[in-house]
Amino acid sequence: MNLFLEFSLIGLASGGIYVLAALSFVIVYKATNIFNFATGEMMMFGTYFFYLFDTQLGFGWVAGLGMGLVSAALLALAIERTMLRPLLGRPHIVLVMVTFGVGSILRGFAGLFWGPNVRQLPEILPRKPIFLGDILVPGKLAWGFVTVGVIAGLFMLYYRYSRAGTAIRATSIDQVTAESLGINIRAVFLLAWALAGLLTAASGIITASVNGVTPQLGLVALNVLAVVMLAGMTSVGGVVIAGLFVGWMETIVGAYLGAAWQSFIPYLVVLVVMFVKPSGLFGEQRVERI
Amino acid sequence: MSAQVSAAPAASFGRKALDPRIELLSWILLVLAMVSVPLWGSVYAVYMACLIAINVIATVGLNITVGYAGLLSIGHSAFLGVGAYASALMWLHLGTPLAFNLVVGAVSAFAVGLVFGIPALRIKGVYLAIATLAAQYSLYFVFQQWTSVTGGDRGLSLPKIDVFGYGDTGFYYVVAFVALVATLAARNLFRTRIGRSFIAVREKDYAAQVLGINVVVTKLVAFGIGAAYAGVAGALLAAFLRIVNPDQFTLVSSVFFLAAVVVGGRGSILGSILGALFMTMMPDLLREVIAHFSSEGADLASLLSPVREIAFGLLIVLFLIFEPRGLVGFVDRALGRAENVEARQEH
């Protein structure tokens, strides 16, 4: 029983990293209606930015973190402005294909600049394990989870109570009305992408602080998509629950059935959601069956 | 967002048909070019021609799904993998002839495609893209981990195939013949009820439904045919390279095929041929460029794979922004068929 609790805690903690990436996905989808298949690659690239400023250029982790996050946000802005803005009003499939292409470009540049080998990030999070009674949780995982919680909490406060967050929500509900009420839609798009850049970079850095970063880090995207689908694409709060659930299930399945089965969990989640409830657990009823 | 301004009423159903005599002439020229390659070409030219023909089959298949039916599939190479493994296993264990293996490849890819397609295609939207991405990852995983059947990372090695005692040249003619038949079949498909229903569903699914088209079945058939083409291409690829391993069927090669469709021209058979031709030559071109610019002794192979990924992605993005009709748009302009270019409506 103790073992099960221990695995559960580890699973919940590792599910935390999905939450931030999934939030970035949801904010872009809500504000701009673009299905961002480059989420995983943006995560990976933001992590490399941090590695670049911290380790390669030697600014130290505080300055490196700030510069890495700013660069990730700028990259996201550049993607929106140069590649997606010219396609406004074009069919949806075209925009999705472009994000898929952007993912490939980012993977390629990461491989070109940093090579295929693992790069270790500096030790920011304390390594010392945490004991809850008899249960041991690895220190980095626990502190990573706390960090995720703080960031997600701040993000949700911003999203709910700031003027900009309100503008994003208004745009998501009805673009035309929002614009006619004086909301600058283009600024909202840019803001959503900048936030997405920040969130993906943060989730990438926390993920990579455990195992280091490779260009393959972006492949976690399928797990993030599973989380997003389970939550229902448009639900900011649902993403948190779904992320923790998927992380928990992966760890439990990996622990009891073997790591091989773990890889099928995201797909299984996607499949079940599509069969049973395509709008997800907390999504709006935007989904249409035919 | 999707409030698309409806274009001029002209050409909303596609392009003005080519003069049949010109079309027949270009098919004849194509056949002549294909037949003559082994006569004037080097071993390398025949090798490339084989690869191009195989990629044409796969690209035509993806274009049926993406270009004609408007369904985004981003896991095309996984279905090539299914066809390749299925045919290789038939060959190794049962010793069946190549023609039979091609059919097995097509059928198995079709079946696996439906497994991933059925849940996704009942719903509108990008769910097929997610499902095919999942297919990409989980099928790669199956190829890699199911060691007792697929041979794991080392893959399966196949014996050399000898067609009528002509060796590689004979095999090239087989590939070229299959590619020609597959391409002609796709061309004619869009003059039948089924093919036109794909286009109708892409244009407006509600309207298609009102016209009595079963939208779900149509989408499933369109996606399944695309996967079956991939299966045939995969079976030929296995016989051609005589090795099947998981690393041939990664996300990168799915990006490759999507780029071939976008670069060539969505919803165009000629576009599929041009796109596959262009994309197959591209890695070699890139290798030359890298060798030209990189310093002495640099590790070319380690540079090539990231540069390839960048180039594939950039081609998709740039063509979608600047020339959504792909290379076919250039051809139309060169032939002075400007009305097709100007009145383009995108799907």
Closest residue to A108, CB basis, from B3, B66, B309 = B309
| Contact list, B314 vs chain A (CB under 8 Å) | 101, 105
Type of residue numbered A77: L
* Phi, psi torsion values for A37, nearest 5 degrees: -80, 0
The pTM (predicted TM-score) of the whole model is 0.88
B72/A93 Cβ within 8 A: yes
**Per the domain annotation, does B291 fall within a domain?**
yes
CA distance A232 to chain B (A): 12
Query: Which residues in chain A are closer than 8 Å to B134, comparing Cβ atoms?
Result: 222, 266-267, 270-271
- Is residue B193 over pLDDT 50? yes
Residues in A closer than 8 angstroms to B72, CB to CB, are: 93, 96-97
CA of B54 vs chain A CAs: smallest distance (Å): 23
User: Helices (DSSP H) in chain B: which residue ranges?
Assistant: 20-40, 43-63, 76-94, 98-121, 127-145, 147-150, 167-189, 193-203, 205-210, 215-241, 251-264, 269-293, 300-322, 327-334, 338-342
Chain-chain contact of A102 with B4 (C-beta, under 8 angstroms): no
Q: Pick the residue from chain A with its C-alpha nearest to B259.
A: A101
* CB pair distance less than 8 Å for B1 and A175: yes
Q: Which of A97, A279, A289 to mutate to test the interface with B (most CBs of B within 10 A)?
A: A97
Residue B125 has pLDDT above 80, yes or no: no
| Start-to-end Cα distance in chain A | 46
| Whole-number pLDDT of residue B275 | 92
Rounded to a whole number of angstroms, the distance from the CA of A182 to the nearest CA of chain B is 17
Q: For chains A and B, what is the number of CB pairs under 8 angstroms?
A: 156
Contacts of B308 in chain A (CB under 8 A): 108
Whether pLDDT at B98 is above 80: yes
Confidence of residue B76 (pLDDT cuts 50, 70, 90): very high
Q: How distant is the Cα of A222 from the closest Cα of chain B, in angstroms?
A: 7
Residues with Cβ within 8 Å of residue B161, at least 6 apart in sequence: B98, B171, B239, B242
3-state secondary structure of B246: helix
CB contact at 8 A, B81 and B280: no
- Chain A residues touching B145 at Cβ < 8 A: 260
Measured between beta carbons, which residues in chain A are less than 8 angstroms from residue B255? 100-101, 104
Predicted confidence at residue B236, as pLDDT, reads 92
**A102–B347 C-beta distance less than 8 A:** no
CA neighbours within 13 Å on the CB side: how many for B111?
9
Is the CB of residue B52 less than 8 Å from the CB of residue B204? no
pLDDT of residue B4: 41
Query: Does A263 sit within 8 Å of B138, measured CB to CB?
Result: yes
Q: What is the pLDDT of residues A218-255, one digit of tens each?
A: 888 788 888 888 888 778 888 888 988 988 888 888 88
Q: Which residues in chain B are closer than 8 Å to A221, comparing Cβ atoms?
A: 133
Q: Does the pLDDT of residue B335 top 80, yes or no?
A: no
Residue of A92, A108, A222 lying closest to B313 (CB–CB): A108
The proportion of chain B whose per-residue pLDDT surpasses 90, expressed as a percent, equals 27
- pLDDT score, position B340: 53
Answer for the pair A214, A118: CB distance below 8 angstroms, yes or no.
yes
Please write the tens of the pLDDT for every residue from B22-60: 778 888 888 888 888 877 878 888 888 889 999 999 999
**Nearest CA distance, B51 vs chain A (angstrom):** 23
- Which pLDDT band holds residue B147 (cuts at 50, 70, 90)? confident
Residues of A in contact with B310 (CB under 8 A): 104-105, 108-109, 112
Q: Where are the domains of chain A?
A: 21-217
Residue B17 inside a domain? The answer is no
Chain B hits for A105, Cβ within 8 Å: 309-310, 313-314, 317
Give the gap in angstroms from C-alpha B306 to the nearest C-alpha of chain A: 4
Distance from CA of A231 to the nearest CA of B (A): 14
SS3 category, B124: coil
Instruction: Find the CB nearest B131 among A102, A110, A270.
Output: A270
Q: What is the pLDDT of residue A44?
A: 92
**Segments forming the whole domain that contains residue B162:** 41-342
Residue B9 has pLDDT above 70, yes or no: no
What's the number of domains chain B is made of? 1
Could you give the CA distance from residue A278 to residue B326 in angstroms, rounded to a whole number? 34
Is A103–B313 a contact, with Cβ atoms under 8 angstroms apart? yes
For residue A90, the chain B residues in CB contact (below 8 A) are 4, 324, 346
CATH of the domain at B187: 1.10.3470
Q: Which of A194-208, A230-244, B9-23, B100-114 is predicted with the least confidence, judged by mean pLDDT?
A: B9-23
* Mean pLDDT, range B225-230, rounded to an integer: 94
A258 φ/ψ sector (left φ>0, alpha ψ -120 to 50, else beta): left
Pick from A39, A84, A104 the residue to mutate for testing the B interface (most B CBs within 10 Å). Answer: A104
Mean pLDDT over the full length of chain A: 85
Task: Tell me whether residue B26 is in a domain.
Answer: no
Asked if the Cβ–Cβ distance from B312 to A32 is below 8 Å, we say no
Rounded average pLDDT over A48-75:
88
Write the DSSP symbol of residue A130: E
Q: Which residue has the higher pLDDT, A198 or A60?
A: A198
Q: What is the ipTM of this complex?
A: 0.86
CB atoms B131 and A103 under 8 Å:
no
User: What are the phi and psi torsion angles at B14 (to 5°)?
Assistant: 110, -160
**Which of B126, B134, B262 is closest, CB to CB, to A266?**
B134
Average pLDDT over residues B223-234: 94
Q: What value does the CA radius of gyration of chain B take, rounded to a whole number of Å? A: 20
Q: What is the mean pLDDT of residues B306-330?
A: 88
Q: What average pLDDT does the segment A182-194 reach?
A: 89
- What Rg do the C-alpha atoms of chain A give, in angstroms? 19
Minimal Cα distance from A266: which residue of B? Answer: B134
The CA distance from A260 to the nearest CA of chain B, in Å, is 8
A62-118 pLDDT, tens digit each: 888 899 999 999 999 999 999 988 888 888 888 889 999 999 999 999 988 888 888
Question: How many angstroms separate the CA of residue A19 from the nearest CA in chain B?
Answer: 18
Put simply, the answer to whether A288 touches B124 (Cβ < 8 Å) is yes
Q: Angle, to 10 degrees, between the axis of helix B327-334 and the axis of helix B251-264? A: 20
Q: Please give the average per-residue pLDDT across A202-219, as a whole number.
A: 85
Q: How confident is the model at residue B225 (pLDDT cuts 50, 70, 90)?
A: very high
Q: Is the pLDDT of residue B82 over 90?
A: yes
The overall average pLDDT reported for chain B is: 83
